[in-house]
Amino acid sequence: MKRCKLVYGLVMSAMMCALILSAVSVSAADPVKISFMLWDEVQRPVFDEIIAKFVEANPDIEVEIQLTPWSQYWTKLDAAAGAGEAPDVFWMNTFMSKYVDAGVLEPLDSYIDAAGLDRAAWLGTTMNAYADEGVQYAMPKGMDTVVVAFNKKIFDKYEVAYPADGWTWDEFIAKGAELRDAIKTAGGDEYALVMEIDSAQPSYIQLLAQDGLAIFDESEKGTDLDSPDAVAAFADIVALIDEGILPDFKVLSDTKATDLFLSEKGAMVYVGSWKSSVLDEASFAGDIGMVKMPIRKVDICAIGGLGYSMSAFSKHKDAAWKLVEFLSGPESNRIQAEARIEIPAYLAEQEAYLPAFKTIDGSVFIDQGVLSVRFPSHRPLATTISIMSDYAGQIFSKELTPEEGVAAMAEAIIEAVAEYRADM
């Protein structure tokens, strides 16, 4: 009887060992599978490299990259979220608050603390951009800034001195007027200044930020645009048009300001860092100078940049967090910087961005972001930015005066915010 019990015990032990070995084998053969969604096909090869590095370091995790074009990205994310699903990790922008309210985003603070990450390792503005009421919902991907690029050939042609760092708004206007007069006297066809006034970030958002306006107040119920000080940014752009320093709105609507600059029809341009590689590859790149924006009331830049969010519906949150941590960490930032994809939000890797340029001085983009505020975000952001754009267009095309347009803009934004909150 004892012998039978011993044999039975040995058989059961053998079976248990076999089951354990089988489980280990299955685990090794079947890593955890998670998905990562992004929208930029230009960046896809860079992220193929980054994900390969991640998988090499985490062989127990398999990552499926889902490339979804911008035109379909948010529709696809909304549909998945509505079904209680979403990619495990995905790109996020200033639309974040909508997804926070819908319960789509996983709060990241506990993961950050458990990993012992130092939040100060990232530019504070970028970390703050992806926090909502003190809760972190995304980790920064990178940052973008706006500077002034100028064509040295045009300045030399008309014997105008180059702009210098630390210039003021008044000096900027004087430089534009000097160029305008010299071009007109010589019968030239260049513009002294071009600016993408049909787009908020490289134009009037920067002027508003430098005038000390938050645009959307901390309560997220009102807007600084109802302040009399808000009129100045729009009125100053209209004055640039009226004085012949800046082309009229139709010209700037028909042809992007950056394209006018690249075709050597603009002496100066407000330009975002997302255009840095285009500038560096221009036929006259060696003659492109770079300088920080002229200072109005405050020397500051409203910066944007993407973030990495984790789905609250993910079935593999530990693996998803490992990916978020890696994507926002030093190695990923360095790879993107070297590919000129992004200015790293991870401060220790920002210098990796500079050697990537063949000709232009990319350091100006980094310098411009040292003092910064986040690109203005509000809970119904798509609506409020659209309102700003619509009224800005009416102001610049002279359908409304700056005073009329800004007053209507502020009123429409306050109504949109109230309606959004009523529906929550």
3-class DSSP state for residue 92? Answer: strand
- Note the pLDDT tens digit of each residue in 121-180: 999 999 999 998 899 999 999 999 999 999 999 999 999 999 999 999 999 999 999 999
- Integer Rg of the chain from CA: 26
Task: Give bridge partners of residue 270 from the DSSP assignment.
Answer: 148
Q: In sequence order, what are the beta bridge partners of 131?
A: 136
In this structure, what DSSP letter does residue 101 have?
Answer: H
CB 374 within 8 A of CB 128: yes
CATH of range 32-143+304-362; options 1.10.3720.10, 3.40.190.10, 3.40.50.920, 3.40.50.620: 3.40.190.10
* CA pair distance 424, 108, nearest whole angstrom: 23
- Measured in degrees and rounded to the nearest 5, phi and psi for residue 250 equal -65, -45
pLDDT score of 376: 78
Strand order through the sheet with 61-67: 61-67, 32-38, 89-92, 307-310, 139-140
- Decide: 210 and 293 in contact? Cβ < 8 Å: yes
Q: For residue 365, which of 329, 389, 341 has the smallest C-alpha distance?
A: 341
Please check the confidence at residue 324 and state whether its pLDDT lies above 60: yes
- Prediction pTM value: 0.87
Q: What digits encode the pLDDT tens for the residues 337-374?
A: 999 889 999 999 999 999 989 999 999 999 999 999 98
- Predicted local confidence at residue 131, as pLDDT: 93
pLDDT tens for residues 78-117? 999 999 999 999 999 988 988 999 999 999 999 999 999 9
Numbered ranges of CATH 3.40.190.10 in the chain = 32-143+304-362, 146-303+380-423
**Cβ neighbours around 256 below 10 Å, total:** 16
Q: For residue 162, what are the contacts with CB-CB under 8 A and spacing of at least 6?
A: 150, 152, 155, 289, 291
The set of residues, in sequence order, having a beta carbon less than 8 Å from that of 50 and lying 6+ positions away, is 326, 327, 331, 332, 335, 336
Looking only at the bridges linking them, the beta strands covering 135-136 and 372-374 are unpaired
Beta strands in 133-291 (DSSP E): 135-136, 139-140, 146-151, 191-194, 266-272, 288-291
Residues 6+ apart with CB under 8 A from 78: none
What mean pLDDT is predicted for residues 251-266? 96
- For 132, the 3-state DSSP assignment is strand
Average pLDDT rounded to a whole number, residues 188-196: 97
Fold for the domain defined by 146-303+380-423: D-Maltodextrin-Binding Protein; domain 2 (3.40.190)
d(CA 358, CA 319): 38
